[in-house]
Amino acid sequence: MTHEPLKPVIAYLGLGGNLDNPLDLLASARKAIAAVPGIREIAFSSFYASKPMGPTDQPDYINAVMAVETTLPPHGLLRALLMIELSHGRVRTGQRWGPRILDLDILLYGNGNIADESLTIPHTGIADREFVLYPLAEIAQPNLEIPGMGLLCDLVAACPLRGLEVIRHD
């Protein structure tokens, strides 16, 4: 049985971390993502500093969003991102919103909706997370439709900054 290669799809990826020099780790992860066969970088946002969502006794997070064109299926893209996290020292402790070296998420995959035990697209919480919406708005069209949630520009307008700040343009 042969599989037809997938047509290229635009996906948006969230990158974040707050341990072990996150700016360098996110820059390294960006290069690693772009080096995966079947992925081509289209755009990369500025780096943003944000307060932690969970426990406050941890360093601020550094976040960015990357737009890619990919021929990988959604779960194949997820596997590639998990391998990059692992290669950068990510250890999954099961602690929700705890400190982490590197967190890579698929925010959007074309205009698809996926909800299974390993992957949810659009990413859970995308509509109210300033550290996702503002970097995404920096590199995407304002009229980008977030499936089931509305237009990106409307979501950004309804989302307060909560101390989010640009710390570096690349």
- Is-catalytic flag, 103? yes
Active-site residue, selected from the candidate residues 24, 96, 100, 168: 100
Q: pLDDT digit string (tens) for 7-28?
A: 999 999 999 999 989 999 999 9
- Is-catalytic flag, 100? yes
Q: Which positions ≥6 away from 6 have C-beta within 8 Å?
A: 71, 72, 73
Highest mean pLDDT: which of 1-5, 25-29, 93-97, 99-103?
25-29
Q: Model's pTM, two decimal places?
A: 0.92
Domains within the chain, CATH numbers bracketed: 9-168 (3.30.70.560)
Phi, psi of 20 (to 5 degrees): 55, 55
Q: How far is CA 89 from CA 25, 30, 67, 123, in A?
A: 10, 15, 23, 23
- Is-catalytic flag, 170? no
